[in-house]
Structure 1
Amino acid sequence: MQPPDFLQESKRTKCQEREGNGSRRKVLIFMIPLVSSGLLDSLSASGKVKGSNPYNEKRLLEQNKKMQAANNVPNDFPSFIREGFQVKVVASDNYQKRDSGLMYLDIEVGNGDCPRDGQQVIFHYIGYNESGRRIDSTYLQGSPAKIRLGNKALVPGFEEGIRDMRPGGKRRLIIPPELGPPVGPSTFFSSKQFEVFDVELLSVQDCQRRTIGFYSDVICN
């Protein structure tokens, strides 16, 4: 299956607030990873770039954009100005930013109800690093991901971002390090960084526990 076209005109959506926070594929989303004046908005993850000046920021931004161009990133993809552990996110005004630090862009809104705790979400995603390199894709794996919400099985930023999506919706998430996966020798990531995910929510299923004799499981449909 080919990845969908994420170049469509963006739309915005809101769902009623709900409680709660929000190997290769498992590590990425499962817990076990010159600015055009008036068009782009710089959002800092951890303050000013240490020891930077306009020339250095411009140079770092241009370097990042060149790497992203070489990786054929989709339209309206965010850029990153990184100097050591200091990072600025440069994204268009189409993106929304939450108090948690999560940023998102609704590409398609979808229809129906947003998922709730205990329900199973079925979704496709493509994951990118700061240079725009594709690091994971359920499309390439040939099957969507399935996970129940509310049991802390998802990376916090990913779960927060998918909670107020509607079936059929497509959204780009910019997940800051503090809402990302753990890092270390046992994970895909060796250092804290931003991750970008293009998410397509396919469907939401109700789940219930089934007990047969001494056997118990949860079924979703």
Structure 2
Amino acid sequence: MNKPEVEFQAGPPPAELVVKDLVEGDGVEAVADGVVEVHYVGVEYETGEEFDSSWNRGETVRFPLRRLVKGWQEGIPGMKAGGRRQLTVPPELAYGPAGGGHRLSGKTLVFVIDLIDAS
């Protein structure tokens, strides 16, 4: 797969996590307490501005799901390797409310995640 284009979403940001499968995978399934290897792009919901991308670094990343933002912890389990999923993550499930000390605090974020492997 190539780096995804994240489509701009019109309207107010959702108050809850929105999970949308763009490509159904048929490989091993990610589990809540597992480790995932992913390629991803993250953009701000309101501006569509990209703030992070493993694609730009030219390599996938691998980490335990429990160490990631809540939106990923809730939105990735059940996804299968080979799949591409879009998560629209409200601030409470990302980096917290505005003023929380992170540059993305208070922002709704959109991630497109390609699951390469899960264990």
Give the structure-1-normalised TM-score.
0.47
User: Aligned to 2:61, which of 126, 135, 145?
Assistant: 145
Alpha-carbon offset, residue 118 of structure 1:
4.1
Q: Which amino acid is the alignment partner of residue 2 of structure 2? A: P
What is the CA deviation profile of residues 186-211 of structure 1, one whole-angstrom value per residue up to 9, with x for unaligned ones? 4222x412100010000113xxxxxx
Counterpart secondary structure, 2:56: helix
In structure 2, the partner of 1:108 is 23
User: Aligned to 1:159, which of 69, 73, 79?
Assistant: 73
Identical residues among aligned pairs (%): 30
Which runs of structure 1 show a deviation greater than 3 angstroms over 4 or more consecutive aligned residues? 182-186
* Higher RCO (Cα < 8 Å, 6 or more apart): 2
Counterpart secondary structure, 2:86: strand
Unpaired runs of at least 5, structure 1:
7-72, 81-87, 91-99, 206-221
User: Aligned to 1:168, which of 82, 86, 89?
Assistant: 82
Aligned length, in residue pairs:
117
The structure with the larger Rg is 1
CA contact (8 A) 2:3 2:55 kept: no
CA distance in 1, matches of 2:76, 2:116: 11
CA distance in 2, matches of 1:89, 1:186: 21
In structure 1, the partner of 2:102 is 187
